A = this chain, B = another copy of it.
């Protein structure tokens, strides 16, 4: 993993796989060839959020700030690739701001296809009570593509039927997180299939996942299971996944676990270091598990 500027310019065009790069994705991506990325999965800083690291983009300026970046995304994405955007509109003056709607319309004018909108139901959203609204328990996962036909591997995200299987899936994923991560290279779907492989159905466009909690230092804004789901659905092992707002590197962790290559870009040096540490921990966990299995 390289974060130094010197290495970027000569390294990326030749081989930009499995790197975390510090910088503005709009600039960094200029060095990436056209039609070279299989999946872009990202959660950009929401308007006026994360101002400490991203400078707090004003809601009214959000589309203008984001559009040049999506132009680069469009260029580097393979024609059969997908762009999954995790975003939610802020409340401004007591009503939802329209920057997400405007962004979708603007991106369509640039050639993007608004193929689908998945729903992430967050079980543990921020609490609070106000006179005019309840807790915001969902976020958009907007699926853009460059063309009508794109790669989608639906069988890879099939889920067990019925509540009994759901509860077992939950238990498995929790215990597996620490103990069996090395085997999770192929993912929980395969583990599950050991005992319920005959009762699997296709999921819907509603995803139920809790936000992941805090290892003291930092909180991942979305759970690893979220990029994992879309990586299974839209990529194959060996494909390359880009997260241009990499943050703590959750997308790259998912790619690493699933045997996909990643490219993570973030403007914050601190975030880049955090992501590199997380990925190093993943590597150590793998080694530890392998050693454990060997003994």
- Chain A contact residues, CB within 8 Å of chain B: 93-96, 98, 101-102, 104-105, 108, 113-117, 119, 121, 125, 127, 129, 131-138, 145, 148-150, 152, 154, 201-206
Contact = CB atoms under 8 A, between A and B. Distances in A.
B119 A95 contact: no
Given A134-B154, A134-B205, A137-B205, 5 more contacts: A96-B116, A101-B101, A121-B121, A136-B204, A138-B205
Nearest to A123: B162
Contacts of A134: 154, 202-205
A117 B117 CA distance: 14
A222 to B, nearest CB: 16
Given A94-B113, A94-B115, A202 B135 contact: yes
B95 A104 contact: no
A235 to B, nearest CB: 15
A96 B119 contact: no
Contacts of A145: 95
A148 to B, nearest CB: 5
A254 to B, nearest CB: 20
B98 A104 contact: yes
A76 to B, nearest CB: 21
Contacts of A133: 115-116, 205
A131 B115 CA distance: 12
Nearest to A116: B133
Nearest to A204: B137
A198 B256 CA distance: 43
Nearest to A143: B133
A105 B101 contact: yes
Contacts of A131: 149, 152
Given A138-B206, A152-B132, A154-B134, A119 B117 contact: no
Contacts of A204: 125, 134-138
A98 B105 contact: yes
Contacts of A93: 148
A98 B94 contact: no
Contacts of A104: 98, 101
A110 to B, nearest CB: 14
Contacts of A98: 104-105, 108, 114
Contacts of A154: 129, 134
B94 A206 contact: no
